[in-house]
Amino acid sequence: RADTFFKRLRGLMFSRTFPGDIDALMLSPCNAVHTFFMRYSLDVLFLDSNMKVLHIIYGMKPGKLSPVIKDARYVVEMAVGSAGSSGVCVGDLLVWD
């Protein structure tokens, strides 16, 4: 979980691949992300304060900037392909363990 300014700033930047020891990185508070200084694509979920999925970006490529999702409070970054294979859809409510 990246819930401080510096943890959110660092995020997954400069890593060569998505870290194998985590399933996802949750950024909070957050309503937009970028993939500058990254070398791999991500799946990105935007959640409101109730953990409802508002928007999904499948395969966000390096060097890109996401749109600002107005009501988003959390962003979950996952390994590319994870969002699609999990079956998560806009409107789903998520539980964070």
pTM of the model: 0.85
Looking at residue 11, its pLDDT comes to 59
pLDDT of residue 23: 76
Residue 39 and residue 76 in contact, taking contact as beta carbons nearer than 8 Å:
no
Are the C-beta atoms of 80 and 17 separated by less than 8 Å? no
pLDDT at 96: 72
- Kindly state which CATH superfamily the domain 5-81 is placed in: Protein of unknown function DUF192 (2.60.120.1140)
Return per-residue pLDDT of the chain as tens, 97 residues: 656 655 555 556 556 666 666 678 889 999 999 888 888 899 999 999 999 999 999 999 999 999 999 999 999 999 999 999 999 999 999 987 6
Specify the length of the chain in residues: 97
54 by Cβ neighbours in 10 Å (0-12 / 13-18 / 19+) ranks as middle
